[in-house]
């Protein structure tokens, strides 16, 4: 019999800010904390539910300046990447006395790497999805950069009317089509993100704007050279056809984190398809 999964949406104070969270499963089960690319909806509900059915208390949350979390001015963030990492550590510690499995996707994977390095006592395992071992900006010579042709198509289009929910959702669907993701899923997710965006700031939280938001953060100092210091089980998941962070970035992470397992999703691009949620959940549960 399939295990029933309860879901609860709320907010939680951590590190001096309020974070919007969504819980899946039994709160007494071991914690898996999911750091999204700003909004919690970067993590597919299907994956969170699979993990919960596997006996985990799964929490996905909104980073600062998105969703239900503390929002001041996404255009001029007054915090750093290290502050976001400290948020993750404080949230994990407040939700469970035991070390947590930390998971980060996209730019949230950068937050997760720094959190695991800066707060090693807080985390028992690490999953990194579709990310890279350096901050936004110029890439190291051995890492593949964004696919130029795809980025040209993505960013040469006129912006939608950000006050029009349908226009924003359609723009996100077109973006997904360019990136090789599921347009229908992107359309639904963009509508939900728009609904949860405070004030008149939806542009700051759409998936194809995240690199621009993170480019405004102080992400120093570099952390790539510290990755060999990680002493916890790690899983690196990457879409074979990801043009934003090409798969060589995931391969580099798996090489540099001691003992890390690399799981390449052959049919995937920047997002985890629902069809791959079971495979990714199983790999995460093995940690």
Structure-token pair, residue 57: 């208390």
pLDDT tens per residue, range 149-172:
999 999 999 988 888 889 989 999
CA angle 125, 129, 134 (to 5 degrees): 95
Q: Evaluate the omega torsion of the peptide bond into residue 221 and state whether it is cis, within 30 degrees of 0.
A: yes
pTM over 0.85: yes
Q: What is the H or E stretch that residue 113 is in?
A: helix 107-118
Nearest to 269 by CA among 190, 175, 202: 175
Domain at 7-144+199-286, CATH from 3.90.600.10, 3.30.365.10, 3.30.830.10, 3.40.50.1820? 3.40.50.1820
Quick: pLDDT tens for 220-245. Answer: 999 999 999 999 999 999 999 999 99
Residue 215: band (very low, low, confident or very high) from pLDDT cuts 50, 70, 90: confident
H/E stretch holding 19 reads: strand 17-24
Give backbone dihedrals phi and psi of 84, rounded to 5 degrees, phi first.
-65, -35
DSSP-derived letter for residue 218 is B
> How many separate helices (H) and strands (E) can be counted in the chain?
9, 8
**How distant, in Å, are the alpha carbons of 48, 176, 197 from that of 170?**
26, 10, 17
Q: Quote the tokens at residue 66.
A: 């998105």
């Amino acid at each position: 019999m399939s295990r029933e999964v309860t879901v609860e949406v709320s907010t939680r104070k951590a590190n001096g800010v309020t974070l919007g969270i969504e819980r899946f499963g039994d709160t007494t089960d071991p914690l898996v904390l999911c750091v999204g690319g700003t909004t919690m909806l970067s993590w597919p509900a299907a994956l969170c539910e699979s993990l919960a059915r596997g006996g985990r208390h799964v929490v996905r949350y909104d980073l600062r300046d998105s969703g239900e979390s503390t929002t001041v001015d996404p255009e001029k963030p007054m915090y750093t990447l290290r502050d976001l990492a400290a948020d993750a550590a404080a949230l994990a510690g407040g939700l469970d006395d035991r070390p947590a499995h930390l998971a980060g996707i996209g730019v949230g994977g950068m937050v997760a790497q720094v959190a695991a390095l800066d707060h090693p006592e807080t985390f028992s395992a690490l999953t990194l999805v579709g990310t890279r071992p350096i901050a936004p900006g110029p890439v190291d010579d051995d890492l593949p950069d964004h696919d130029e042709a795809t980025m040209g198509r993505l960013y040469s289009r006129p912006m939608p009317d950000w006050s029009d929910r349908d226009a924003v959702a359609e723009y996100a669907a077109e973006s997904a089509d360019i990136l090789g993701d599921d347009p229908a899923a992107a359309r639904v997710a963009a509508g939900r993100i728009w609904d949860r965006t405070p004030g008149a700031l939806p542009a700051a939280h759409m998936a194809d704007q995240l690199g621009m938001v993170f480019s405004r953060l102080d992400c120093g100092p570099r952390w790539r050279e510290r990755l060999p210091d990680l002493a916890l089980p790690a899983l690196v998941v990457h879409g074979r056809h990801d043009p934003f962070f090409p798969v060589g970035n995931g391969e580099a992470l798996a090489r540099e984190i001691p003992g890390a397992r690399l799981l390449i999703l052959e049919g995937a691009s920047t997002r985890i398809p629902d069809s791959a949620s079971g495979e990714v959940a199983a790999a995460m549960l093995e940690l």
